[in-house]
Amino acid sequence: MKVTDNLKMFTGRANPDLAQKISEYLGIRLGAAKLTRFPDSELLVKIEEDVRGRDVFLIQPTCAPVHENLMELLIFIDCARRASAERITVVMPYFGYARQDRKDEGRVPISAKLVANMIATAGADRVLTIDLHAGQIQGFFDIPLDNMYAEPVLGVYFDQLKLQNLVLVSPDVGSVKRARAYIQRLGGEGFAIIDKFRVNASQAEIRQMIGDVKDKTVLMIDDVITTAGTVCAAAQLCKTEGAEKIYVAATHGVLCGPAVERIRNSPITELVVTDTIPVSQEKADAIGKLKVLSVAELIGEAIHRIHNDQSVSSLFLNGQRPTAARGAPNSGDE
C-alpha cells in the first residue's frame, strides 16, 4: 500500500479504538496530540509533531457527548490549520445532528447545515463520512464530502450467514433504497416495507406492513438505531406477521436511553452494528444479542485513496469489498 510520510493521522477522544484499527490497516502510527482542560473546563488541543505541508486526517465521530466531541473536532481542525497543514480531511464516521436536516415545522433550525458550516469555517478541506441519514446533506457542505456506505461490511457478514427464506424489510419508506442495495448482494425471496408515522422527535408509530414475512427470515436494515423504539416495534410486527427469525442491521448504533432493555426484550434474533460509534462491552453484554463489525478497513482504504488522489466512489462499484481480502494488510478485526 502506498502511504507516504506526508500523511499524518490524528484522533480525538470520541472513538480512539477505531482510529487505532485504521492506523494498523494503513501501517502508520497515530500522530501525537495532547488534549487537556483548563480549570474552567475550556479545552486545549496541541499537536505535538510537525504537520506543516502535510496531508492531515482527523478522526472524530460526533457521537455522544455530541457537543463535547463536536467542539473538540472544531478546535482540532483550527489547530491543524494554524500549524500550516497542507490539507485537512475530517473523518467523521458518524455525523451528529444529521437528522435535523430540514424545517419540518415553524421556528426550528436546520442544525445539520449549521454544523456543516462550522466544520468548513474551522478550516477543513474535505469530509469523509459513512451512511448520512439523508443523502442531500452532502449539499450542506461547501467543501468536498465523500459519503461512504457500510454495505460492503454488513453485506459480507450476512452473506456468510447464508440465511434461508430471506426477506429484506425496510423499516420505513426512506430506507427502501438502502434495503435494495442489500437485495442485490444477498438475493432473497421478497421485500417488505413498514408503514411508519413520525409522531415527534422521540416517538414513531408503526401502522402496518406492506409485504409478506410469514415463515421467513427477516433482515431489517436501517442507518441508525437510537432508542430502538421503532426497530423493536417493527420487529414485533414482523413476529406477529409470522416471521421465524429477525435480524436487524444498522450502520450507527447510538443505543441510548431505553435501547438496551428494548432490544433485549424484543423478538430480534441478532442486532448487527458497526463501530462508527463506540459500543461499550458492558452495553453489549447487557443486550446479549449484539454483533459489532469494524469499518476500519473501509475507512482506511478511503483515506489511502484520498491521500493518493484516487477514486473513493469506485470502492462501491461491482460489489467490491474494500478490506484485507483485497490484498491490504489485515488488522485482525472483523
* Partners of 20 in the β-ladder: none
For residue 266, give the nearest of 294, 234, 298 by alpha carbon: 234
Cα 249 to the center of its chain, rounded Å: 12
- CA-CA distance, 259 to 229, in Å (whole number)? 7
CA atoms within 13 A on the CB side of 39: 0
Rg of the chain, C-alpha, whole Å = 20
Q: Do strands 55-59 and 43-47 pair parallel, antiparallel, or not at all (unpaired)?
A: unpaired
Q: Do strands 126-130 and 87-92 pair parallel, antiparallel, or not at all (unpaired)?
A: parallel
For residue 272, give the nearest of 151, 165, 190 by alpha carbon: 151
Please confirm, yes or no, whether 291 is among the known catalytic residues. no
Cα angle: 15, vertex 299, 58; to 5 degrees: 55
Instruction: Provide the residue type at 51 as one letter.
Output: V
The single residue of 8, 196, 216, 245 carrying the catalytic annotation is 196
Which residues are known to be catalytic?
196
